[in-house]
Structure 1
Amino acid sequence: MDNNVKILAIESSCDETSAAVVVNGREVLSNIISSQIDIHKKFGGVVPEVASRKHIEVINAVVEEALEEAKLTLKDIDAIGVTYGPGLVGALLVGMQYAKGLAYGMKKPLIGVNHIEGHISANFIEHKDLKPPFVCLVVSGGHTFIVYVKDFGEFEVIGQTRDDAAGEAYDKIARALGLGYPGGPKIDKLAKEGNENAIKFPRANFHDDTLDFSFSGLKSAVLNYLNKMEMTGKDINKADIAASFQKAVVDVLTNNVIKTCKIKEVDKVAIAGGVAANSALRNNLIKEGKENGIEVLFPAPILCTDNAAMIGSAAYFEFMKGRVASIDLNAKPNLKLGER
């Protein structure tokens, strides 16, 4: 093996089937993503059984395309990285069984990757010189975390949601407003036409010195507001509701991240996950970052959503630490960050 470690990575934790080839955790030779958004759109959300079946249909072609675009064969690959949790158990198993078959058949090391660690590692691809320590905000449809990245592959969870993830709340409110799925981009777009101060929605504040989040109360407040307006026959300004809801989410995320940076005495924060592409969150974090002397980093939009390149980056740093999985690696749908 030369000094360039080439990882073939596979991601299938939810509704994207993805394969990528990543060199040394930073350079992406290919990143193929087969999305199921159009399939699940009619259901208003991801249907696990449908997602699993679609993964089975396309995974072989996706992996072959990733290798072809990278101009490599399986013999050129040094290790196989795969997401083994958290996620939908059926979806995870499709990617895992495929990766295990490749690793066993080609006698390549197998590396199990935590999906959340993958999101964090997307920043190592986008920002080639980024090194720990730094703070990372992970916000997606299934996860909301503030993480202190102590070292490559070493994490401390500072805050997390106690109920709905931020992206999950976006999807539910978008459905209530009749915007469809996925909700994040649709609410972000509509909010630009509204007044973010039109409606004062609640922000959850805990009194136990925690930086945890809660979005269920906010979600309920928006739904109650909609019901009240409908029952009284008043006009509903969807743009104002979207903008006011989004401001409530962004305010809490931003405040807790800035507090974490001050507590940990770091001047760098990275954002990861699907909600990291949200324009209001980006703008607010940049503004607050400048005021507090904190640099704010974002991955490219393609690296914010679920993709295998981020899994390949995380797999590389796991591999460098000697964390190789056995062939009996199993899916862990509720895997926690830092759990082995």
Structure 2
Amino acid sequence: MSTGEPSPARRRLPAEWEPQGAIQLTWPHDQTDWAATLDQVHPVLATIAATISRYEPVLIVARDPEHIEEISGFLSEAAIQPDRLWFALAPSNDSWARDHAAITVLEDEKPRLLDFVFNGWGGKYPAALDDAITRALASQGVFGACVPEPVDMVLEGGSIESDGTGTLLTTSRCLLTPTRNPALDRAAIEQRLEQYLGASRILWLEHGQLEGDDTDAHIDTLARFCAPDTIAYVHCDDPQDAHYPELQAMEAELRALRQPGGEPYRLIPLPWPDAIIEDGHRLAATYANFLIINGAVLLPVYGDPADRVARERLATAFPGREVVAIDCRPIIRQGGSLHCLTMQYPAAALGIPQE
């Protein structure tokens, strides 16, 4: 019998493999930490943008009109599809759109853009400009009638993985770091993930960390949903490697996880590339930082024999999608990889033309 009251809205965080309207890239420039390596980074970004444009639109955030002109030259050389390219203007501290861009949830299957606080991964780096990018894009009509909603909570897109049906995968090392939300304990964090993202289950990993990673163990460097029943993860089988104890412990945790119906997850181990050392420090080369787009998966590779193995294994998780390898060696010098550079939006959350 109806009470006459409206039913509560159903909210969920869509999975990355669901239909997308565009991918955001925040382009690096000479006022960022990329300045010394821009000549190597620009071609990689251009390749990423051109590859995405084969499947869906690309939204590029540029510093100013002169920056747009510079970027357009790189994209022309990369043969980007111009009818799938849009620019917006905003000053930026860095280029990690995964963490400073809005997070889209669906409420009764209609998009809502959540503008969480970005504080430079717990105050490690300046982030005020990056934190304002979503508001700048909204003021330029990028999101059309979908107005971003400010959320007084620090949360980065790279720190959460969604299966699209209410389950989130994350790490305690990141979300419980006191430099992000010092007033919130695990229970309070879970309550807010339920409130804002519609999470009905939160799977916490207590282990997993990569050298060269400044994010406090973002889940998108370690383990990723490929389907509601499938997780691809970083696997280290070298007992001499410093990562071996942590990643073996993480693998045991993943094996113990269960789907909502009680079944174990199908686990796909991604290989471990040889160490890439620069200035005496190991860089965070991870195959888990792949990007799922319409019709394809973009896989970061590192000029390593394991690149081929990673591509073959990931292809088994995404039948019907092309797996495209992108050499990301210049990118990992700044601590992230391919997925970290990007953020997807559904078409209904955008004010840019759609096909």
Q: State whether TM-score is above 0.5.
A: no
Richer in strand (by share) = 2
TM-score normalised by length of structure 2: 0.30
More relative contact order, 1 or 2 (CA 8 Å, 6+ apart): 1
